Amino acid sequence: MVKTLTLLLLGFIALSGCASSPSASPGPADVTGTWRGGTATGTRDVTMQLRQSGTNVTGTVAGAGAALDGPIQGTVEGNTLHIAQRSGSAAPRPLIIRGDLMDGMLDGVPMKLVRFGGPGR
């Protein structure tokens, strides 16, 4: 009886150690594709075409306003996209990625985008 209990206890400890081993941290979110949406006020309809390689992102923005439209580049860190115009002009605040949804601010107004195309879509 004691021997059986000891073996069960040792087995439980061994399995517990396996279950608590650290897992690899997830890589950056994938933002490749066509994103469409707009501001909460409905004043802007925005389209972003993005291409991602590792953490680097390039693409174009249309509908965000004359100062923001055009070629962009940026980086993805976890679930956050940091973008800037290739011209080096000021960039909007970071965008938060949740699967096929992206949230952020445009000229102080909340903006939501939905991905309509990308890898495997």
Indicate which CATH number applies to the domain containing 82: 2.40.128
Question: Residue 47 in contact with residue 113, Cβ under 8 Å?
Answer: no
- The answer to the question of residue 72 being in a domain is yes
- The answer to the question of residue 21 being in a domain is no
Total of domains in the chain:
1
pLDDT at residue 121, rounded to an integer: 53
Q: Which residues of the chain have pLDDT under 70?
A: 1-25, 85-92, 118-121
Q: At 65, is the secondary structure helix, strand, or coil?
A: coil
Give the C-alpha separation, 35 to 101, whole Å: 8
pLDDT at residue 11, rounded to an integer: 43
Q: Tell whether pTM > 0.75.
A: no
Q: At 9, is the secondary structure helix, strand, or coil?
A: helix
- The answer to the question of residue 51 being in a domain is yes
- The answer to the question of residue 24 being in a domain is no
- The answer to the question of residue 46 being in a domain is yes
- The answer to the question of residue 5 being in a domain is no
User: Which tokens hold the place of 22?
Assistant: 């650290």
Sign of CA dihedral 83, 28, 55, 37: negative
**Domain ranges, residue 81:** 33-117
- The answer to the question of residue 64 being in a domain is yes
Give the C-alpha separation, 2 to 79, whole Å: 51
